[in-house]
Amino acid sequence: MRDKRLKLAAVILLISIAWVPAFSNTKASSFLQKNVPINFSQVKITDDFWQPRLLTHANVTLQAGLNQCENETQRIKNFAIAAGLIKGVFKGFVYDDSDLYKMLEGASYSLMNNPNPALESKLDSIISLISAAQMPDGYLMTYFELGDITKRWTDMNMHEMYCCGHLIEAGIAYYNATGKRSLLNVAINYANHIDKTFGEGKRVWVPGHEEIELALVKLYRVTQDQRYLKLAKWLLEQRGHNNATWDPADKDYYQDLVPVKDLKKISGHAVRSMYLFTGMADVSSAINDTTYLPALDRLWDDVVKTKMYITGGIGSSKVNEGFSEDYDLPNEDAYCETCASVGMVLWNQRMNMLKGDGKYVDVLERSMYNGALAGISLSGDRFFYVNPLASSGNHHRKAWYGTACCPSQISRFLPSIGNYIYATSTDNSIWVNLYIGSETTIKTAGNSIDLKQETTYPWYGKVTLRVNPQKSKAFKVKLRLPGWCKKYDISVNGHPVKTQMELHYLIINRKWKKGDVVTFNMDMPVEVVAADPRVKADAGKRTIQRGPIVYCMEEVDNKSIDSAKIDASTQYTATFEPDLLGSVVEITAKAGNQVYTFIPYYAWDNRQAGKMKVWVDYK
């Protein structure tokens, strides 16, 4: 019986797969989209800050995560059992398939810039199990296949579409990395199953955990199959119309209170919100429709102005893994899930694509260097799920979690950071959004431009951009002026140049030739930052920031951490320490006869256990 099922599944796979073109970055897909990011597969990271982390990810993080999925938990084994290859019962949580998919996505991203035949072979063997576990009608979820299959599609909060979304993203990633359609085929079949089951004139459904919406837009962009875009829009439109089966009291938690176009304030689960807003932005761009934009603007203002930590973390409440009232930002009890910080990166990139405003990259950068990066140890094999801004000494990273969304999330995020550096637009502009040492070749306006960025950012603010166009032509280079930067100078070939300022970008519009060099110097002093006075938890306190990096105190450096106080006369010294915490700029604060040490927040809990605080008493 099992053999017949596998043969039938193979036939369905062959029938359903059309030719799938590679992902293209050439032009914006709609007039709404102001720029198109350069895919990280076309960006070589040479940066002293990020390159070591990417090597650690490739050599340590991937192996650690895959080992957890294969040997320490049953995430991979569940697929082998569902395929009938071995005997056993399901073990784990309902959504565990998604963690494996995210690990496969991260591994695929790593393969693009770090070819590894052994890893690729390993992924092929895992993908073969996933493919064999897929049911003939395209459905794929080991929890139900190994449990009561009659219960599938009966509970909107059982993560079926969420898992499919992560499967789609993994399938696309592996296809782009290797040219192999094996996992993409599986994803398309699951998406086709969902499309046949749900939609206009079919069954109603409101995904309890958003994610599939943005994944379907990605699938549409790869396959050009309008069904997936239509389904993504339809799923967004199901919210706020009493279509869900959960308790009405939980509508807030699931972002189901009102239609998405009418959303005014963020609420409920933080990660679900980020995926929802990212999906709304993606659909807006893909269908050339401004309907969701006013809501996205309102929601962004609400998040950034009333509910975001200085680290770019969001979701202060443990109760709902999300949001409570405005300005409720406790420190030691902060939830700040790592997944939510990565979600802020995803959403803010989409907002920048739609609006062309550097303020969104400011938030993206804040979340990336602080809230998200804190989620992984310097060794690359231990993770935070929760990222508080203070600790009594008992909060530590773990090798894995029962609910392992955060380790697998950071594992797929790190190798994709090249996605956020450069972009192009149809007005012959090259956008430099992040300052990360890197190289890329950009094709625009009938020209090919080699770019090489050299910098010691985030520790120092000097950026050298070498611009080498194949043909001497006029085009614009847009350099984001970070919100933290108050003083800067900019020159081309050693001569100061005039720039236009537009939406937080410095624009150099000139005829470029081979050998042109842009030098951008951003002054990077130590800043003493006060919270909004409505944040009660930070009343009478200050924190330290330098460039994009938020700092904290650890007990290992400050034995008097509980009584530490700074004031207006405190003097600060920033010193680069190559042997400290993987090379950081350390800040010392001389307050009277006391000297305090501050380290980057992302690097805390990498030495001996002890107390930590971001916000320090200010007298």
Active site residues: 321, 405
**Interatomic CA distance for residues 236 and 244, integer angstroms:** 12
Q: Cα–chain-centroid distance for residue 273?
A: 13
Peptide bond into 388 cis (omega under 30): no
DSSP H or E segment with residue 432:
strand 429-432
**Interatomic CA distance for residues 321 and 168, integer angstroms:** 25
Neighbours of 317 (CB within 10 A): 18
Closest among 549, 542, 499 to 524, alpha carbons compared: 549
Question: Which residues does 330 contact at the CB level (< 8 Å), separation at least 6?
Answer: 316, 537
CB 554 within 8 A of CB 546: no
How is 64-109 classified by DSSP, letter by letter? HHHHIIIIISSHHHHHHHHTTSS-----S-TTHHHHHHHHHHHHHH
**Interatomic CA distance for residues 62 and 111, integer angstroms:** 11
**Interatomic CA distance for residues 277 and 294, integer angstroms:** 12
Query: What b/e string do you get for 47-59 counting C-beta neighbours within 10 Å, with b at 16 or more?
Result: bebbeebbebbbe
Measured at the alpha carbon of residue 226, what is the angle toward residues 220 and 228, in degrees to the nearest 5? Answer: 55
